[in-house]
Amino acid sequence: MGVLMSRRQTVERVQKVSLAVSAFKDGLREQPSTRRRAEAGTARQGTLEQEVQEGEEEALAGPSQPEESSAGKAAWERLRDGRGVEPEEFDRANRFTPPAFIRPKRELHDDEPPDISLEQREEILNDEMCEICEVWTAESLFPCRICHRVYHDGCLRRMGYLQKDSAVEVTETAHTETGWSCYYCDNLNLLLTEEEMYSLMETLRNCKIIPESCLTLDDFLHYKHQVHKQQFERTMPEAQEEQAALQFNALDPDKKGHIEWQDFLSHESIQLLQKIRPQNALLRLLTPKERERARTAFLALDQDNDGFIGEGECRQARHTWFRKHQKEMLSCNVSISHVGPISEGSPASSRNGKSPEKILPATKQEETRSIDWPGFLRENVAYILAARPNSAALHLQPLA
């Protein structure tokens, strides 16, 4: 107990010092402008750089809405930093300070094919101590179904990442096959580097998308049309518009008529990753748990053990295990991102004698084309990553 209190006191002391230093630096930045305002009265003076910056902020928000300018700026900052809930939005008393997310950086060898063996199974090991408080309390720890981290539900509440609605979901699913994604893995936007994030923010700004807002079908289609016209300098074809409408429906599983901001951001993040990074780089993002689930899926589909499966089988896996199941289907004790085979006797394979997933017919070309293990991973890696969030929304709709 003494070690626990000492560690918590150390963390809190470091947090207080960091806040004090940040406040001191902010005071130094604001002091010159405050002194000038006092000397000049109501006249606003400052450097040319400050005036230009303030003018740009006012132009973005509109001259008649200064409050929206401040709120909009904060929303863009949260988007840039990858934060979800702003710390000031909940009571600071008895709460930990949420961590500052550090975006990944591209390495020189990222584009080279990784060595992911089919025969060599990987040992899955979770951390022994809570990621937040670094205390071990055995069965009271909740593991993430994607990474190695484990958490206390109390620590998640104090961080502001576990609200009343999600608390039940975590306690009921964390120790089941369904599983639960921690706040790192749940946010696909954190997979983007700083350069990729600025590229996405520039696209959102050009298309007049307001951060942290919900999008209707018209908003979503208008955005897709603008992005396509900016990229290809021509109108989006009707077939792609229909595909965009299907993607909107997949992002709105509850049929509310709009998609939540976090679901839209996750969809755009995985779309950007597909466009910018080669498949080998995406494969390096997979965790040992995800690789092991994909390995289980391929071995089950490879009935004759020759190291190859048909393209139709690969597409069937993509439309079943590499996508999300609706919330009402979670009672089947099947993981929403578990990439494994559907056996005929499994609870997910039959409900009143009917399959929950429509089996897509394979064409003759698909039946003749064979896919090996590396090809299976490359063709499905984006869908595996898109299955990480806890949301029931389908963040990457498989092509029909």
Residues of the chain with pLDDT under 70: 1-69, 83-100, 163-166, 323-368, 400
User: Do 195 and 249 reside in the same domain of the chain?
Assistant: yes
**What distances in angstroms separate CA 225 from CA 78, 234, 235, 280, one per listed residue?**
26, 9, 7, 29
> Can you give the pLDDT at residue 323?
67
> Kind of pairing, strands 215-216 and 370-372?
unpaired
Is 12 a member of any domain? Answer: no
Q: Are residues 223 and 195 in the same domain?
A: yes
Q: What's the pLDDT at 174?
A: 83
Cα 23 to Cα 26, 27, 176, distances in angstroms: 5, 6, 44
Domain membership of residue 377 (yes or no) is yes
Domain count, the chain: 3
Is 376 within 8 Å of 298 (Cβ atoms)?
yes
Position 74 in a domain: yes
What does the block give as tokens for 250?
């997949």
The per-residue pLDDT for 158 is 82
| 128 and 229 both lie in a single domain | no
Predicted confidence at residue 366, as pLDDT, reads 47
Q: Residue 3 has what pLDDT? A: 42
φ, ψ of residue 233 to 5 degrees: the values are: 60, 35
Helix, strand, or coil (residue 302): coil
Tell whether 193 and 254 lie within a shared domain: yes
CATH number of the domain within which 232 lies: 1.10.238
| pLDDT on residue 400 | 61
Query: For residue 123, which phi and psi values (nearest 5 degrees)?
Result: -80, 125
pLDDT score recorded for residue 190: 93
Structure tokens at 43: 């006249």
Given this model, what pLDDT does residue 336 score?
30
Location of structure tokens 């400052």: 46
Nearest alpha-carbon partner for 72 in 81, 82, 62? 62
Exposure letters 72-94 (e unless 16+ CB within 10 A, then b)? beebbeebeebbbeeeeeeeeee
- Residue that has been written with the tokens 């010159």 in this structure: 32
- What are 339-368's pLDDT values in tens digits? 333 333 333 333 333 333 444 455 545 456
Q: How many residues are given for the chain? A: 400
DSSP reduced 3-state for 319: helix
Residues 210, 315 share a domain: no
Full domain range(s) for residue 179: 122-186
- What's the pLDDT score for residue 16? 54
